[in-house]
Structure 1
Amino acid sequence: MKALYIASSGMAAQERNVEVISNNIANMRTTGYKKARAEFQDLLYQSYRQAGSTTSETGTMAPVAIEIGSGVRTAATPRMMSQGTPELTEKELDLAVRGEGFFVVQMPDGRTGYTRDGSFERGPDGQLVTVDGYALQPEITIPGNANQIQISADGLVEVYLDNDTSPTQVGQLQLARFVNKAGLASAGNNLFVETASSGQAQVGTPNGDGMGDLLQGYLEASNVNSVTEIADLIAAQRAYEMNARVISGADEMMQATSQLR
């Protein structure tokens, strides 16, 4: 009975949906996290009669078709790249992007990574790095005798050295944007990598070239809405239960058929 296989595909799809939702909820407090959403497609149809087919010798036609579907499959789990809320930290190396753009970092395997997580630190040589030690690109080094760091909205990095009363410029932050940022591949550790679908990175100065500006002393929060995720979880659970009931119903029908005398 096809109903068994159709309902089982529905259960598998809702199981994947719950996995996506659970990952969103798990990352509610992850800096710069962008929530995902499961999207589904129906499968191939078996056609018993096509719309417009002849139904009599006089040439009358069927106005509608008779088609039975084969179930559902997970088509994609795209990222929702909407802006997260900037949260005040008052740490001078914490940065939040307000608008378009990703920070650019050098990954250990030589690839270029892109992140919305602006929680930077100073490495042993003063270079700005992520919490995993990945160097920010282009490289910016903070002198050891810097006692105050100022980062402007357009990414200009200045420091006050020793007892100087005027700042010294030590670097210029850059951001990257993509034609299809939802096409970026997740690499873990709050990082994305470029794909053929995302298009090539377009690097530019914050607050210009279509880029957002920077907020010093802030971090971008996750864009996960807990109420929405719980509502989606309940809906997925109910859909799973209904598919399970279809399997039970089909089983009872098969049992009744086998008991016919």
Structure 2
Amino acid sequence: MTNAALHVARTGLDAQNMRMQVIANNLANVNTTGFKRDRASFETLAYQAMTAPGAASSESTRFATGTNLGSGVQINGTSKVDTQGSLQTTDNALDLAVEGSGFFQIQLPDGRVGYTRDGSFHLSSDGTMVNSDGYQLLPQIQIPDGAANITIAANGAVSVTLQGQTEASQVGTIEIARFTNPAGLQAEGNNVLTETSASGQPQVGPGAIDGRGSVRQGALESSNVNIVQELVDMIETQRAYEVNSKMIQSTDQMLQYVNQNV
């Protein structure tokens, strides 16, 4: 039984260590554009049923509670907290933010479609809108050479005014992808998420309709990490780790006492 206590405490150390890594990653990305904080979820490991509730305690009575011994804890997953980050005005015509639900779509090098809340876009050498890593925005938006003004509406419609002209002409529409379960998206790094069976298929279309967020030009979405909350979680995790470590020390002392006196 005492050895089992060592095992249970060890699972607690492992789980709290993993939670601390999640918190550290959140704090490291406090200034990452469009970053959504992760939250670790815990679950109990299998129980050892010594006596089942309702089992017969005599010919005419039954146990009211039973005896079940837990074998520890583990992290059963991490999920993105999909709350809106604050919008920071940049006055850059190619800086975009999604106000509400949804993601920008980008073409990954391996041909897959990536999804991101990071709307810091630029123009490539041929005038195509790309992100900071050079990945093309989908659908492709190409800004004509000599465009004097770029206007992007809330629904994603991109219009440009060429030099010498007074009227703007539309060159494309930035579509927003929305998922039934955005927490099921797979984080790939580089501010990119990819579709999984848990997230469901994307519902793609113009912004500001059918539950898709609107596009805000000249702004970027800040990380939704709350530093104060993360520090509170860090202290809580540290204390839980210390308690599990103390449990191992106490159990070890009990084993030493048994070895020396029994």
Q: TM-score range with shorter-chain normalisation?
A: over 0.9
Q: List per-residue Cα deviations over 1:215-248 (Å, max 9, x = no partner).
A: 1100000010000000000000000000000000
Number of the residue aligned with 2:107: 106
Equivalent position of 1:79 in the other structure? 80
Identical columns (%): 47
Which deviates more from structure 2 when the two are superposed, residues 164-173 or residues 122-131? 164-173
Aligned pair 1:229/2:248, yes or no? no
Instruction: Identify the residue that residue 67 of structure 2 maps to in structure 1.
Output: 66
* Deviation of the 1:52 alpha carbon: 1.0
The list of structure 1 runs, each at least 4 consecutive aligned residues, that deviate by more than 4 angstroms after superposition, is none
Q: Which amino acid aligns with 1:51?
A: P
Amino acid at match of 2:17: E
* Deviation, structure 1 residue 198: 0.6
Q: Which residue of 2 aligns with 1:134?
A: 135
Does residue 28 in structure 1 map to residue 40 in structure 2?
no
* Aligned twin of 1:47: 49
Instruction: Give the Cα–Cα distance (whole angstroms) in 2 for the partners of residues 210 and 63 of structure 1.
Output: 50
Query: Runs of 5+ in structure 2 lacking a partner?
Result: none
Shift of 1:164: 1.2
Letter in 1 for 2:145: G
SS in structure 1 at match of 2:39:
coil
- Aligned with 1:15: secondary structure? helix
Letter in 1 for 2:260: Q
Cα displacement (A) at 1:201: 0.9
* Within-5 A mapping of 1:1-261: 1-57=3-59, 59-260=60-261
- How far apart are 1:163 and its partner, in Å? 2.0
1:95 to partner: Cα distance: 0.4
Q: Secondary structure at the match of 1:257?
A: helix
Structure 1: state its 5+ residue gaps. none
* Number of positions where the alignment pairs a residue of Structure 1 with one of Structure 2: 260
Q: In 1, distance between residues paired with 2:55 and 2:175?
A: 62
Q: TM-score, normalised by structure 2?
A: 0.98
1:183-202 deviation per Cα after TM superposition (whole angstroms, max 9, x unaligned)? 00011110000001111111
Aligned partner of residue 78 in structure 1, secondary structure: strand
Q: 3-state DSSP class of the match of 1:200? A: coil
For residues 233 and 4 of structure 1, the distance between their equivalents in structure 2, rounded to whole angstroms, comes to 24
